[in-house]
Structure 1
Amino acid sequence: MNTFGAALKTMRAELGLSQLDLAGEIGTTQRHVSFLETGRSQPSVEFVGRLATGLELSLTQRAALFDAVSGRNPYRRADFDSDQVKAVLDMLELRALRHWPFPGYVMDHDWTILRANAPGWAMLEGFAASNNAPVSMYEVFLSEAFFSRVQNWEEVAMIFYFRMQAAAARSAPMAALFAKARAEGRFAGVAERLTGGAEVPPYIPAVLAGPEGVQLQMSSLVGQLASTHEAAIEGLEVELMIPVDETTEACLLAAYGR
């Protein structure tokens, strides 16, 4: 079985490169790339190193190429249930989320919540099922309960649309959820809004109906570990919710007791 050839072809397709383009990027010939993809030639570890350093590959793509050739793979591929990954999640929860006074989450590339602080779990009450099943933040944002509280959905729909589109390109479950949301009309009017000529502000906070008629205005910061060499945690995102005005800040601090 030509494992490396399949991995190389998949990677090339993900990057949108022809065989000739790929050859030019790493200093080889189109014929050599073709032979590698069809199994007529076998790659050297040095050649895989050139691919890994000469192209803008994700850690997951690099790991897949090294997995497909004999030799040591410098990129580990641990399971989310492994002790190593759990230790990373615990560190993010204890060193980042615990000190954030507003809702904060650690999520995988499907936006499944892996860790949250106390305000984060509290904010999800009424939006997510309480049956101990994994919670998808995308499913929360597309739920009827959340949708009914958003007072500027036409504006924030653009934000969710492009984030979901990117997630759907790399995940079959996310592609199915994105297709369902589009079929239900959640993103109706996004294209028209983009081309309608309206001025776009620097950022678009979500405006939610809060307690006692208070309007809550929130945005978020999204970050990733910069030093990871573990494919399983490359796609982890830390999302910290930010109140964008004093009224929202006061309301959130009062609600979560900080």
Structure 2
Amino acid sequence: MTTAFGSALKDWRTRRRLSQLELALRAGTTQRHVSFMESGRSVPGRGMVVRVAESLQLPLRERNALLLSAGYAPSYPETDLSDPALRPVLDALERLLDGHEPYPAIVVDRFGDLVATNKAAGILTEGAAPELLEPPVNVLRLALHPRGMAPRIANFDDWARHVLERPRQEQAKAPHPRHAELLTELEGYLPGPPNLDADHLGFAVPLVLRTSRGEMRLLTAITTFATAVDVTVSELRLETFLPADDETAHILTR
């Protein structure tokens, strides 16, 4: 009889497009054992569940869920951002943000809700509707909403599809109702189906933004905290905006 763990294991293995043999080799076990775990004929030990979760490259939140499905307590803590225990992490992020000035930088959680920002990021949000800037600010909504940044983005079609890639990938890796709801909303802001030609840049899409100080071309870089052992910290994203040309650098420095 298939167990909750067996069903979850098979679902994740299928999502990762791995055969039972491939997963077994990664986890240091046999294809027969993987088959027995999925069918419920074998009850895995805690260590095996952890190895399987690591082999599937599951986010920490999903590793905890897999442990729970097998009847074990979660291994990774999930600390609220307001907890004093995370103060050193937030202080370190503040230093990173300040160090990136005069270029914009923000920190967001897994749903794109704003956690922290530096002063330079204000140039990104000028002219946005006040209700979009009320906490909790969702930067994905702010970027694509017709009363947010959208009217000032010169290459909105390409940028919008670029912005949506990350939440789509997150939803594919670890489905969540809020991600699905947010994606439905954001996709409604797109002008229509993509019309990709030979010059399409794929993920390398600059943000071409009209501002009160002139038009800027910005490239973005996203940093994650791969060595984090806390669920909350592991889901944070540091997004930095870098000038793509000398004029943009001059505007931001000025």
Structure 1-normalised TM-score?
0.79
Is the CA contact 2:141–2:186 (under 8 Å) kept in the aligned structure 1?
Answer: no
Is the CA contact 2:144–2:160 (under 8 Å) kept in the aligned structure 1?
Answer: no
Q: Distance in 2 between matches of 1:7 and 1:175?
A: 20
Which residue does 1:167 correspond to in 2? Answer: 170
Question: Deviation above 6 Å: which 4+ runs of structure 1?
Answer: none
1:28-50 per-position Cα deviation (integer Å, ceiling 9, x unaligned) = 244x4454345443211332243
Distance 1:165 1:151, change over 3 A: same
The answer to whether residue 177 in structure 2 is matched with residue 177 in structure 1 is no
Q: Distance in 2 between matches of 1:42 and 1:5?
A: 9
The answer to whether residue 125 in structure 2 is matched with residue 124 in structure 1 is yes
Cα-Cα RMSD: 3.1
The range that moved more, 158-167 or 66-75, is 66-75
- SS, match of residue 186 in structure 2: helix
* Count of paired positions: 247
1:231 deviation in Å?
1.9
Is the CA contact 1:63–1:73 (under 8 Å) kept in the aligned structure 2?
Answer: yes
1:137 deviation in Å?
0.6
Q: Which amino acid aligns with 1:252?
A: L
Is the CA contact 1:11–1:61 (under 8 Å) kept in the aligned structure 2?
Answer: no
Alignment of 1:36-47 (within 5 A): 36-37=37-38, 39-47=40-48
Is the CA contact 1:105–1:120 (under 8 Å) kept in the aligned structure 2?
Answer: yes
Alignment of 1:32-71 (within 5 A): 32-37=33-38, 39-69=40-70
Distance 1:23 1:233, change over 3 A: same
Q: Which amino acid aligns with 1:4?
A: F
Is the CA contact 1:112–1:136 (under 8 Å) kept in the aligned structure 2?
Answer: yes
Which residue does 1:250 correspond to in 2? Answer: 250
Structure 2-normalised TM-score?
0.80
The range that moved more, 166-175 or 65-74, is 65-74
Task: Structure 1 unaligned segments of length 5 or more: list them.
Answer: none
Task: Structure 2 unaligned segments of length 5 or more: list them.
Answer: none
1:238 deviation in Å?
0.5
Which residue does 2:141 correspond to in 1? Answer: 139
Q: Distance in 1 between matches of 2:41 and 2:239?
A: 46
Q: Distance in 2 between matches of 1:21 and 1:7?
A: 17
Is the CA contact 2:65–2:74 (under 8 Å) kept in the aligned structure 1?
Answer: no
Alignment of 1:91-240 (within 5 A): 91-93=92-94, 95-101=95-101, 102-121=103-122, 123-127=124-128, 129=130, 132-145=134-147, 146-169=149-172, 170=174, 171-184=176-189, 186=190, 188-190=192-194, 192-193=195-196, 196-198=197-199, 200=201, 203-211=204-212, 214-240=214-240
1:168 deviation in Å?
3.5
Q: Distance in 1 between matches of 2:203 and 2:235?
A: 26
